[in-house]
């Protein structure tokens, strides 16, 4: 079982010289390589490590290892788009390990058991201000607190969570689940101050005697587009719609509502409208399905709930309840081009889901901070802005805008902030090679297809905002954890021990792996060839 962390992945040589041994030109070497799931995780989780603990039914240890990198496993098990599963080597065989479902199981189990995270660091005497209680700010605050710093989050809104609270519908993320995870972050020593909008960062820093600042205000302004309109029907952006629904101020938009856009926010808006009474929300998108940025499962769930999509179309003009829509075609580069073919549709309202922008203007008062053309804040490799001691991350910086990326930014920033507070530099350890499917020497696996998360029927879903997807049972979570190949990490299967014709493999006991008796080893490669997870390699003998 590997104790390898997501950030520190050393090569481990367990070889021991016990004599001259036979003549050979190469020898086997045990090595911890990088599983593709770990490599793909934006939060830097040691996925293989906590899956190994889960499959041994040590759920608390698995959760604690998970919590070293990610303070909100119940949230991520529900809303992360799990790139770890896209990268999973098992997808080449019978289907990726359902990593997100096991993560959700561990997070929910921890909440039901009241587990707490041990805080071992001594107080540093340093104070850090975090601006914004979204996923990146919460993550940074949690990791900084675990490093011994006093952390205070100033949040402009009435509740913490940011887009987790006001941008993701509750049918995907129940608010009780979110607040349980945030309460655990507070229990770690983080103080959250709501309804406190920061207008002057430097004044706030000085007034609170903070030694460093992490700005993570997200991107919660809906993008607008210039559409000619005469006596226009109701037009609002998707972010405003989702926010108003969460605060109990859902607007009356009628039964014929068009959503303009093709991302995941467009799917959330359309599915929300369905629950608000729209008969058949219609998504208008200017490209085809193959080029749609929304994840396939998000689209499938929307379609199952009665949402319609009009592909290769764009809105040209709004006049009262009439929308003038133009048919588009894709050129050789996959870009949409107008055809001149127009039609008229009727709609009671239009919801714009064209992306988000960040409200970073208040940072313009801080000397040295630079901005991108879209208002994003430019940071260096150490996540620091052009002003010493002020760091930034999450959606307000140039990056992929997902919850897990934002959480990863918070963890990464905490390492650099901690180093800066101590007058040192943080150097991320070099990552070892990633283990591909072709590198594995797998036995024949049978009856190990993924466990399917149960979903409420579509006709029930649209009646309320109750959660759509159910958690795995303990038996199902164990089944999923045990489907992991442990790519690149020894799990003590004894294949090398059993295969060695010279009895050169020595067992060191449970959890201690093996060593190689070089007085017996001939360098025949049988052990390496029999290692199912590629935790051994042949290397040249030293000259």
Q: How many Å apart are CA 117 and CA 119, to the nearest integer?
A: 6
Which helix (H) or strand (E) segment holds residue 201: the answer is: helix 201-207
**Has residue 21 got a pLDDT over 70?**
no
Q: How many Å apart are CA 74 and CA 165, to the nearest integer?
A: 14
Q: How many Å apart are CA 46 and CA 24, to the nearest integer?
A: 36
Q: Kindly tell me the burial class for residue 100, based on how many C-beta atoms sit within 10 Å of its own C-beta (0-12, 13-18, 19 or more).
A: buried
Q: How many Å apart are CA 239 and CA 166, to the nearest integer?
A: 8
> Which residues share a beta bridge with 507?
514
pLDDT the model gives residue 230: 67
**How many C-beta atoms lie closer than 10 Å to residue 306's C-beta?**
17
What is the pLDDT averaged over residues 250-274? 95
pLDDT the model gives residue 119: 77
Span of 152-156, 210-214, 351-355 with lowest mean pLDDT: 351-355
- The pLDDT tens digits for 423-464 are 999 998 889 999 999 999 988 665 678 888 999 999 999 999
pLDDT the model gives residue 543: 67
Q: How many Å apart are CA 162 and CA 167, to the nearest integer?
A: 8
> Which residues share a beta bridge with 524?
none
Q: Which fold has domain 1-33+488-543?
A: Alpha-Beta Plaits (3.30.70)
Nearest-CA neighbor of 208 among 127, 307, 106?
A: 127
CB 504 within 8 A of CB 518: yes
CB-facing half-sphere around the CA of 101: CA atoms within 13 A: 24
Nearest-CA neighbor of 37 among 471, 486, 493, 490?
A: 486
Q: How many Å apart are CA 149 and CA 399, to the nearest integer?
A: 27
Could you tell me the two tokens for 190?
């983080």
Measure Cα distances from 165 to 131, 136, 242, 454, 509 in Å. 16, 13, 10, 24, 48
Measure Cα distances from 302 to 4, 280, 313, 405, 408 in Å. 39, 11, 19, 24, 28
Nearest-CA neighbor of 85 among 355, 454, 450, 362?
A: 450
**Has residue 256 got a pLDDT over 80?**
yes
What is the pLDDT averaged over residues 120-136? 94
pLDDT the model gives residue 446: 59
- The pLDDT tens digits for 31-65 are 999 999 999 999 999 999 999 999 999 999 999 99
Could you tell me the two tokens for 271?
């599915």
Nearest-CA neighbor of 314 among 347, 279, 278, 340?
A: 340
* pTM for the structure as a whole: 0.91
User: End-to-end distance of the chain based on CA atoms, in angstroms?
Assistant: 33
Sign of CA dihedral 71, 76, 80, 85: positive
- The pLDDT tens digits for 347-394 are 999 999 998 889 898 999 999 999 998 889 999 999 999 999 999 999
Nearest-CA neighbor of 126 among 148, 110, 158?
A: 148
Could you tell me the two tokens for 176?
């009780």
Q: Which residue has the higher pLDDT, 371 or 11?
A: 371
Could you tell me the two tokens for 168?
């993701």
* 128 — pLDDT class (breaks 50, 70, 90): very high
**DSSP string over 105-157:** HHHHHHHHHT------PPP-S-EEEEE--SHHHHHHHHHHHHTT-EEEEE-SS
Kindly list the strands in the beta sheet with 505-507, ordered across the sheet, starting from the edge strand earlier in the chain.
Answer: 15-16, 514-517, 505-507
Which helix (H) or strand (E) segment holds residue 167: the answer is: none
Domain boundaries, the chain: 1-33+488-543, 223-351
pLDDT the model gives residue 8: 33
Which helix (H) or strand (E) segment holds residue 77: the answer is: helix 73-79
What is the pLDDT averaged over residues 524-537? 95
Could you tell me the two tokens for 182?
């945030």
Q: What are phi and psi of 129, to 5 degrees?
A: -100, 130
pLDDT the model gives residue 447: 62
pLDDT the model gives residue 452: 87
CB-facing half-sphere around the CA of 389: CA atoms within 13 A: 17
The DSSP bridge pattern shows strands 313-319 and 212-215 to be unpaired
- The pLDDT tens digits for 160-190 are 999 999 999 999 999 999 999 999 999 999 9
Across all residues in the chain, what is the average pLDDT?
Answer: 92
pLDDT the model gives residue 41: 97
CB-facing half-sphere around the CA of 253: CA atoms within 13 A: 33
Span of 153-157, 218-222, 340-344, 496-500 with lowest mean pLDDT: 218-222
Q: Indicate the angle between helix axes 135-146 and 403-421, nearest 10 degrees.
A: 40
* 17 — pLDDT class (breaks 50, 70, 90): very low
In CATH, the number for domain 223-351 is 3.50.50.60
CB 532 within 8 A of CB 441: yes
**How many C-beta atoms lie closer than 10 Å to residue 297's C-beta?**
11
């Amino acid at each position: 079982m590997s104790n390898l962390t997501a950030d520190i992945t050393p090569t481990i040589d367990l070889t021991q010289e016990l004599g001259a041994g036979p003549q050979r030109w190469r020898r086997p070497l045990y090595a911890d390589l990088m599983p593709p799931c770990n490599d793909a995780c934006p939060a830097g989780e040691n996925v293989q490590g906590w899956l190994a603990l889960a499959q041994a039914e040590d759920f608390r240890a698995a959760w604690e290892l998970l919590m070293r990198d990610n303070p909100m496993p119940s949230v991520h098990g529900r809303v992360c788009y799990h790139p770890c599963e896209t990268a999973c080597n098992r997808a080449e065989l019978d289907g990726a390990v359902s990593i997100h479902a096991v993560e959700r199981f561990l997070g929910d189990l921890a909440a039901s058991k009241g587990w707490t995270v041990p805080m071992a660091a001594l107080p540093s005497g340093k104070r850090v201000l975090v601006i914004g209680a979204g996923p990146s700010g919460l993550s940074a605050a949690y990791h900084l607190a675990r490093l011994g710093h006093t952390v205070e989050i100033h949040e402009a809104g009435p509740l913490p969570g940011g887009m987790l609270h006001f941008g993701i519908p509750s049918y995907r993320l129940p608010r009780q689940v979110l607040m349980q995870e945030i309460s655990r972050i507070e229990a770690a020593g983080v103080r959250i101050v709501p309804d406190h909008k920061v207008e002057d960062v430097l004044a706030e820093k000085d007034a609170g005697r903070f030694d460093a600042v992490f700005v993570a205000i997200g991107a919660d302004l809906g993008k607008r587009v210039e559409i000619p309109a005469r006596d226009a029907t109701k037009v609002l952006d998707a972010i405003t719609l989702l926010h108003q629904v969460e605060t109990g101020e859902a607007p009356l938009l009628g039964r014929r509502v068009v959503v303009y856009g093709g991302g995941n926010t467009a799917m959330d808006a359309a599915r929300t409208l369905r629950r608000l009474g729209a008969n058949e929300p219609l998504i208008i998108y200017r490209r085809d399905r193959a080029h749609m940025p929304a994840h396939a499962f998000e689209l499938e769930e929307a379609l199952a709930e009665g949402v319609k999509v009009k592909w290769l179309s764009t809105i040209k003009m709004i006049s009262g309840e009439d929308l003038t829509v133009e048919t588009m075609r894709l050129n050789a580069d996959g870009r949409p081009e107008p055809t001149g073919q127009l039609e008229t549709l009727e709609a009671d309202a239009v919801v714009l889901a064209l992306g988000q922008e960040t409200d970073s203007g208040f940072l313009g008062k801080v000397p040295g901070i630079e901005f991108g053309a879209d208002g994003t804040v430019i940071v260096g490799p150490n996540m620091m802005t052009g002003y010493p001691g002020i760091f930034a991350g999450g959606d307000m910086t140039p990056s992929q805008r997902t919850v897990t990326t934002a959480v990863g930014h918070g963890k990464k920033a905490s390492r650099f902030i901690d180093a800066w507070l101590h007058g040192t530099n943080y150097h991320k350890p070099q990552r070892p090679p990633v283990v591909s499917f072709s590198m594995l020497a797998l036995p024949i696996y049978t009856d190990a297809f993924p466990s399917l998360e149960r979903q409420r029927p579509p006709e029930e879903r649209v009646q309320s905002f109750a959660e759509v997807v159910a958690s795995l049972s303990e038996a199902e979570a164990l089944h999923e954890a045990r489907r992991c190949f442990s790519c690149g990490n020894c799990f003590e299967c004894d294949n090398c021990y059993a295969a060695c014709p010279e009895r050169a493999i020595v067992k060191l006991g449970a959890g201690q792996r093996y060593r190689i008796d070089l007085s017996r080893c001939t360098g025949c490669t049988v052990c390496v060839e029999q290692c199912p997870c590629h935790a051994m390699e042949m290397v040249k003998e030293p000259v």
